[in-house]
Structure 1
Amino acid sequence: MWIYKTNKELNGYDRRIEVNPALSVLAVTLGAFLIVPPFVAVWRLGARARRAQRAAGIPELSTGVAFVIWLVGGGALYLQYEINKIWDRYPGAVEGQQVPLYA
């Protein structure tokens, strides 16, 4: 699932971004029965992407904008686009390679 993989990648990029990817998936899926958990999980994913962008030294996304776009149906595309900017910051880097963090 995209939520799991994305949270895991952000944690792998910067260990200061603490997340349990499985718990995020549970919040988005089963948490929907309680209404609030999916919204919290999506908000936090946007905040994690923002922290990763800060660590990469690139302009940060707006968590609020990401959340609103998620509500109208394009949030995953928007967040993936923003997360891809982090990976583009390190051309030639391979998976598992340590890269410099800026913040």
Structure 2
Amino acid sequence: MKRNSKPRTYSAKHAQKLADERKKEGHYKTIFSTEMKKIIKEKMIKFQWSPEQIVGWCKLKTIQMASHERIYQYVWQDKKQGGLLYKELGTGQKNIKKVWK
């Protein structure tokens, strides 16, 4: 409520106007380019980095990179297409087994 309020009062119309303006500004999605795929493959295969490490390194070097979640999506998509990039992940997917007593 604070960010949509006037200095001393709250107005629903004013709040909606501010929310609509913020929505117009939008969130631009990062385009997942072939250059990003090349960096991901290199860092995962050569250095065995996790997606979080890749994103952190790219931020330090000011290289545009998708989020770590998008990198995981790319890895699992690669697996579905017969790729082996998923094997470079440290832990892989966890299998949860229910134990009945």
TM-score by length of 1: 0.30
Question: Taking CA–CA contacts closer than 8 Å with sequence separation of 6 or more, which of the two structures ends up with the larger relative contact order?
Answer: 1
TM-score by length of 2: 0.30
More helix by share: 1
